[in-house]
A and B are shown apart, each in its own frame.
Chain A
Amino acid sequence: MTPNDSGGPAVELIGVSKQYDRATVLDNLTLTIPRGTTLGLIGPNGAGKSTTIKILMGMLAPTAGQVRVLGIDVARDPASMKRRVGYVPERHDIYPWMTVGEVIDFTRAFYETWDESFSCDMLGVFELDRRKKVKQLSKGMLVKLGLLLAVSHHPELLILDEPTTGLDPIVHEEFLDGVLRTICQSPCTVLFSSHNLGDIRRLADSVCILRNGKIIVKRGLDDLLASTKRVRAVLADGHLPRWEPEGTLWQQVQRREWLLTIDGFSADIAERIKAENAVESVEVFDLSLAEMFRDYIKGE
């Protein structure tokens, strides 16, 4: 532990931008992840999730802005940061000629905090054969090996970049169990980027939705689910909506049916919809994370 890293957030991105030629991938992104929390990073393809993670890992240099991970300036001292962070990428590029045992021995050398017994436990749980070459491993096995390498040194921050893409349901479940086992074993901050909103729902305390390199929402997951509602109003014959509530993310009128997704919903809003519009009935529904995500993206 260095003196400057205790107590501060696990991740701090301040005004981070990334441009490739003329394309802006990240646009003045500011994001803080408090220690001990799990943040689900979601967004459509090309939203900037992987770029954000690569910048955090020091594998891409931002065009502008500051990046601090566990209190360490990533640009200045990437090695110190990497010693305390575990990273599971979407694509595993582990030396194909090494055996599983060789990869573990190779990786272990770089971490003073490597927990051999935990590593052996994970090896057993994941049914990985130390003698098998990496190039002979299936995608599922490779992902499990990647997780083992990322967590066996008990990282303070675990970064998962769409790790479950393309996994069969059994390996998928084993992977998530492995992540949960890690979090239980030694509480750490987790940044989890995924298209699988079920995984986010299961693991994350809070979510951050990215679109076109900008954060469109960052909130506690329970708070977000509790305060974002779908409203279905039936309009009186021949009438159109007159008053649109504040916090409307998305809306659609089809014949007499008026559908709205509202952020920051309260009972007062339902009453006001009735009062201000010519509606016959108003119904309020809970949204799944997937529906909410879709409405946030469509509404932008």
Chain B
Amino acid sequence: MMMQMRQLLWKDYRLNRGLLVLSVVGLAGVYVAGLTVEFSHTWPAIPAPQAWADGVYSYGHLSLSVMPFIAALLGGNAIACERADRSAHFLAYLPPTKLRIVASKVIVVASAVAVFCCGNLLLMYAVAPRLAEDPADFMYMMGSPAATLAGCLFTFGIGWLGSACLEKPTIPVLAALASPIVLAMILTTLAALLGISRFELVEWSPIIGLWVGIAAFCAGTWCYFRRVEP
């Protein structure tokens, strides 16, 4: 049983390897770009420790806010990518249960998102304070790490639902990438209609996103289990 899971995990890692590499490059790119800007301000002198700390903390925050988009890519690609190249046909006549197939996909995506989040949080809350005390956050408007995590679940859930229902990953990925904007538009409209303040809206939107994401994930999993593959 362990061998089966190991092989499924390996397969899902290999299926997502390109996206994972792209994600690492994207996340690290935020730091590189940000710190290059910091460097350019003081060039040819090296920035002061406080500037390094501020940079690592702030760009860590920015990098963290990219995470929902990575979750969207991984969620949208999760199931449909195997249908697109028809390898789902091959998997369908092998014995692993759908539960194991789904578990493997979720574990790979959740692990990747967790590793990326932890990397960012480590830099923000462990490395930056060691460079200088009380690093400033230029990106405070990007939302808290908890809101980012809720955003990840939201975009992943939307992508997963689309991926479970469709044959190709393009539409699920695009839908998941666009979903935060769509959700924001819906909530803003509702807030305007119901007379809710912007402050309250900002407070509630991660919770709504989280529950919509969980519901979408459950709906996608249900679709996948009900559907006779391929």
Contacts and interface: CB of A to CB of B under 8 A. Distances in A.
A94 B86 CA distance: 8
Interface residues of A, number: 25
Nearest to B92: A59
B144 interface: no
A93 B90 contact: yes
A109 B228 contact: no
A115 interface: no
Interface string A52-93: 000001111100000000000000000110110001010111
B90 A57 contact: no
A97 interface: yes
A151 B14 CA distance: 26
Contacts, number: 57
Contacts of B89: 59, 89, 91, 93
B87 A94 contact: yes
A152 to B, nearest CB: 13
Interface string B1-22: 0011011001100100000000
A79 B93 CA distance: 9
B96 A93 contact: no
Given A79-B97, A82-B93, A87-B93, A59 B228 contact: yes
B44 interface: no
Contacts of B200: none
A80 B87 CA distance: 21
Contact of B95 (A61, A97, A98, A111): A111
Q: Tell me the interface secondary structure of chain A in the complex.
A: loop
Contacts of B193: none
A97 B14 contact: yes
Given A93-B90, A106-B11, A79 B85 contact: no
Nearest to A106: B7
A110 B97 CA distance: 10
Contacts of B88: 93
B11 A110 contact: no
B29 interface: no
A109 B6 contact: yes
A105 B94 CA distance: 13
Interface of B: 3-4, 6-7, 10-11, 14, 85-90, 92-97, 228-230
25 contacts: A57-B92, A58-B92, A58-B228, A59-B89, A59-B92, A59-B228, A59-B230, A60-B228, A79-B96, A82-B94, A82-B95, A83-B95, A89-B89, A89-B93, A91-B89, A92-B90, A93-B88, A93-B89, A93-B90, A95-B87, A106-B10, A109-B3, A109-B4, A109-B6, A110-B4
Closest 5 CB pairs of A and B: A93-B86, A109-B7, A93-B89, A82-B95, A83-B95
